[in-house]
Amino acid sequence: MTLSTPWGLGWLALLPVLYWLSLPPRPRRFEFTAHFAEWQAALAALRRRPRQAGLRFVLLASALVAIALAAAGAAVPGRPGPQRLVVLLDRSASMLASAPAGSASARAAARLAAAFAALPEPVELTVLTIGDGLERRHGASARHLQDLPAPAGGLDVDLAALAAATATADTAVWTLTDGQGQRGLPTVGALTVLAARGDNAAVLAVVVQDQWPLPTLQVAVEVVGYTAAPAAAELLVEGSVEPVPPVPLQLAPGEVVTHTLQLVRQPAGGELRCRVRLPGDVLAADDGQTLWLPPLPAPRIAARSDGEAGPFVRAAAAALAAEVAGQVVAAGAGDDVGLLLVDGGRVLLTPGTQRVLTFGTALRADGELVAWREPRAIDWDRRSPLTAGLDLSELRLDTAWRGVLPDGEALLWAEHAGQRVPLAVVVGDERCASVHFAFRLQDGNLPLLPAFPQLLRRAFVRCYGAGAALRVLSAPPVVGELDLRTAAAAPDRALPSFATPEQDLAAWCVLAGLALLALRSCVR
């Protein structure tokens, strides 16, 4: 017991006074009596109890001692030890590996919950979850394990170094890991190794060559197996494609097997799941990958032209329809078409809001068109998705029109007075775009170039924007989290004893004093 204000014990100086006050009234005499029974009978007749002055004084003195201790700040000294606990919790993908006692992740959560329940309240708690990024939780959130992230990703942190850097005299470190992806386990602080070893197969990558807007696509699936011996597995391809039978695979330990499939998607698009099935696989999270296939576009292509236009726009529409497996339809008001080709003339529309491909078409009613004879030094953007890889060096234009192009991303231009003047622009965003050329088809040899059909197809795809893009829905597996046969191991180490604060006994002493006083009042 410690006393923070020892001078409070000065109250004990009142003890002699209390003793003096507790003495019975004078005269105080001691007598032998031959009539003890008569004295008792007299007391009983008067319903009096014998005085217990000694007990009354002892109770009063005890109450005074208790109050003096309270005044002196009596306290039970605390226990030295760490006052903070930092938990390094491995939440990498391999923590999902199953075992008879549950996944390593679930076992870690259970161990933490049990330990936190017994953790003294004053201990400051921090939980660092390390997996797909590093997250920190502190205080009550950490104590209640709120919103623990699902195990994912790799363990990019050296747990041993982190534990060594975190541990101090006041801070205890507790590492919970499966030992996967670590060169060595921490040698500092408490350690819990949640081993979950076993065979594992994973889909490393899915390489897709999409021929959208055509329904065909080529899928190359890379599979690896980490097993003790060569094992037979199956590759399953499911989702919004025409059914594919399971593909048997023979997996050698640690070797990547690539299998290529030609698939035909369903027009509505949707998920494409590639999954490997290995008997005894302990980690299911990396067994497959999921892609999202865009739906096929509406294959209706319309073409409009002014009276001076030649046959090129019709031919272009037919070529594009052949390219995307569509059909040419008449352009009527209110019709739903996949792409509108306009050659010459004037069309009132807002660029970038409709899937339109225009050639020398004025987009505003009041725009003044100025002819530009024989533009020279025509060049194109080599990095634009529309023109990259195309050969437009043979492009010759008789006439181009100034004032027909809206503001946008230039992909074709000509030199004039030392400056680049756009001849074609793309306007729009990822959802919808329109492509505009500053010349009509009959004003140059563009329709005759070999790159023209490809340019049309690319313009079609670009007009659809992200709607034509394939999306990857699942994260790629982390290489270090796949081989579950070689996890680092070490014996577990328990948590140290944490510091306990000094416990103030003043309130208890006051209570005891009051109780003793109450008891004294009941004793005659």
Partner 1 sequence: MKRRAVTLPPPPPALSAPFRELLHALLARGVRLRGERTETARARRTALSQSGTFVGHRPYTRGDDLRRLDWAAYARSGEFFLKQLEQEERRSVTLWLDLSPRLAAGSPPRRLAAVRLAAVLGGLALRRLDGLTVLAPGHSPPVATFAGAADLDGLLRWLDSLPYSISAPDRGPELALQRSLPGRVHWLSDFARPKACERPLLALRRRGVKVTGWLPAIADDRGPVARGALRLVDPESGDELMVAVDDALAAELERQLATLARQQDRLFAQAGCRLVRWPVPAADDLRLEAWSAMLTEAAR
Q: Which residues bind partner 1 (CB under 8 A)?
A: 24-43, 45-46, 48, 50-53
Nearest to 173 by CA among 184, 183, 165: 165
Token pair 């010759």 in the structure block, residue: 396
* Helix/strand/coil for 258: strand
Cβ at position 25, least distance to partner 1 in Å: 6
CB-CB contact of 235 with 247 (8 Å): yes
Angle at 184 between CA 182 and CA 186, to 5 degrees: 105
Q: Which is nearer to partner 1, 29 or 183 (CB)?
A: 29
Query: How distant, in Å, are the alpha carbons of 88, 89, 156 from that of 134?
Result: 10, 10, 9
Q: Which residues are CB-neighbours of 261 under 8 A, at least 6 positions away?
A: 218, 219, 220, 221, 237, 244, 247
Cβ at position 42, least distance to partner 1 in Å: 4
Cβ at position 55, least distance to partner 1 in Å: 10
Q: Which is nearer to partner 1, 20 or 36 (CB)?
A: 36
Bridge partner list, 249: 233
Q: Which is nearer to partner 1, 7 or 39 (CB)?
A: 39
CB-CB contact of 305 with 316 (8 Å): no
Ordered alpha helix ranges (H), 46-178 = 53-71, 104-117, 140-143, 159-166
Cβ at position 519, least distance to partner 1 in Å: 18
Cβ at position 37, least distance to partner 1 in Å: 8
* Helix/strand/coil for 491: coil
Cβ at position 48, least distance to partner 1 in Å: 7
CB-CB contact of 281 with 250 (8 Å): no
Cβ at position 51, least distance to partner 1 in Å: 4
The DSSP letter of residue 252 is: P
CB-CB contact of 357 with 456 (8 Å): yes
Q: Which is nearer to partner 1, 53 or 195 (CB)?
A: 53
Residue 50 CB-density burial (10 A; 0-12 exposed, 13-18 middle, 19+ buried): exposed
**E strand or H helix that includes residue 251:** strand 247-251
Angle at 352 between CA 339 and CA 310, to 5 degrees: 45
Cβ at position 523, least distance to partner 1 in Å: 12
Cβ at position 56, least distance to partner 1 in Å: 10
Q: Which is nearer to partner 1, 53 or 205 (CB)?
A: 53
Q: Which is nearer to partner 1, 35 or 383 (CB)?
A: 35
Q: Which is nearer to partner 1, 46 or 229 (CB)?
A: 46
Q: Which is nearer to partner 1, 393 or 521 (CB)?
A: 521
Q: Which is nearer to partner 1, 15 or 53 (CB)?
A: 53
